[in-house]
Copies of this chain bind each other. A is one copy, B any other.
Amino acid sequence: MPASRTKKVTPKPIVTEAAAPGSSGKQVTKTTINEIARLAGVSKKTVSRVINRSPLVREDTRLKVETLMRDVGYVPDPMARALAFRRSFLIGMVYDNPNAEYIVNMQNGALDSLRGTGYELVVHPCDSKNADYIEGVRRFILQHKLYGVFLVPRVSEDQELVDMLVEHDCRYARIAAISLDADSKMITTNDRKGAVEVAKYLESLGHKHIAMITGPHRYLSTRERGGGFLETLANRGMKVPAEYILEGGYTFESGVACAEKLLALNPRPTAIFTLNDEMAAGVYKAAHKLGLSVPEDVSVVGFDDSPIASRLWPSLSTVRLPIRDMGLHAAAMLLADVAKPGSAPVITPHLVVRESCQPPR
């Protein structure tokens, strides 16, 4: 019995009533740090040191306290700790991305990292087109004293937002297509590499008339994906004419509209690369409208590997972005000093070949 080891204990008999086992149906008095300290025969400060993994504790003292905490099922109160620490145990996910699949995947990845750590995930969607969205994030992190936040594209690309976080000394991690910050704050997704694969693939199939529907140019992902694609083709001696490159909005509707224009061109492109899957679905619709078939009349490649890719008919070849891993690494990075360190955020997208491409006829 650990309790029998108790030496001279601070006499606080009235305050610390131990939850005597069997005294009542359920445990009424929640165990606190005082109770643990009393049972272990040490000061609460020592227990606190054990909780916070301070090296300034003798090994046997630490063991005794740890065992006791485990046996009793003691978990320190995050509210009390937050008050004293002036920092909560909440991790914020700040995003401005309407793609539900993307968001849920990322949440799940982050939750994978947070599970068992005592930290919780708080979601904060915002509208980066609204000038004062940064004020909203400021209130969010300040009011609840967030432990840290991770930023999803496109808000991750906004230096003003980051400056605000720095000003308030708020931990953060940024997810973006290229590095925009110190290594310890970046999850880099290398979108370019995925686009390079697509270019090589379409070229290997023998396509000469290749078109592209991009996202908004203000997005880094657009510049990286589009840039990597065109550059690779250029390196292989294929210059994509300007009229074959249209700017979409990463939406289904913009995919339809752009594809209708492209498919009316002469010569008609034999392959279209859309910088996300939503727009690829739009290309399918436009092709059907015009009586053209995928891939017989036009090959299509998307980007993201969202669920719609495998639900389309024919199923869509696309670049898979390991979104869940991105969320996992982002959260892990925020807890780096708390949890398992050394999780290297190496994200590499890959082409997934399905049924939407064939050689031109």
Contacts and interface: CB of A to CB of B under 8 A. Distances in A.
A313 interface: yes
Given A120-B122, A252-B311, A285-B311, 12 more contacts: A79-B82, A80-B83, A83-B83, A89-B144, A107-B123, A111-B125, A121-B122, A123-B123, A252-B307, A278-B311, A282-B311, A308-B311
Interface in A274-301: 278, 281-282, 284-285, 288
Contact of A143 (B82, B108, B118): B118
A144 B78 contact: yes
A145 interface: yes
A123 B121 contact: yes
Which of A26, A83, A252: most chain B Cβ within 10 A? A83
Contacts of A308: 308, 311
Interface stretch (A98-106, A174-182, A184-192, A258-266): A98-106
A152 to B, nearest CB: 13
A83 B30 CA distance: 13
A121 B77 CA distance: 19
A281 B90 contact: no
10 contacts: A75-B143, A78-B143, A79-B88, A79-B144, A82-B82, A100-B104, A103-B104, A111-B123, A278-B311, A285-B311
A59 to B, nearest CB: 28
B288 A145 contact: no
Contacts of A145: 79
Contacts of A143: 75, 78, 118
A104 B152 CA distance: 15
Interface string A315-342: 0000000000000000000000000000
4 cross-chain pairs, A with B, having the tightest CB-CB distances, nearest first: A100-B104, A79-B82, A100-B100, A100-B101
A167 interface: yes
A100 B111 contact: no
Interface of A: 26, 75, 77-80, 82-83, 88-90, 100-101, 103-105, 107-108, 111, 118, 120-123, 125, 140, 143-145, 167, 252, 278, 281-282, 284-285, 288, 307-308, 310-311, 313
Contacts of A80: 83
B108 A26 contact: no
A312 to B, nearest CB: 9
Contacts of A284: 313
A145 B310 CA distance: 42
A281 B281 CA distance: 13
Given A82-B79, A83-B80, A83-B83, A120 B144 contact: yes
Contact of A167 (B26, B103, B278): B26
A341 to B, nearest CB: 24
A58 to B, nearest CB: 29
A325 to B, nearest CB: 17
Contacts of A101: 100-101
Nearest to A75: B143
A83 B79 contact: yes
A89 B145 CA distance: 13
A307 to B, nearest CB: 8
Nearest to A146: B120
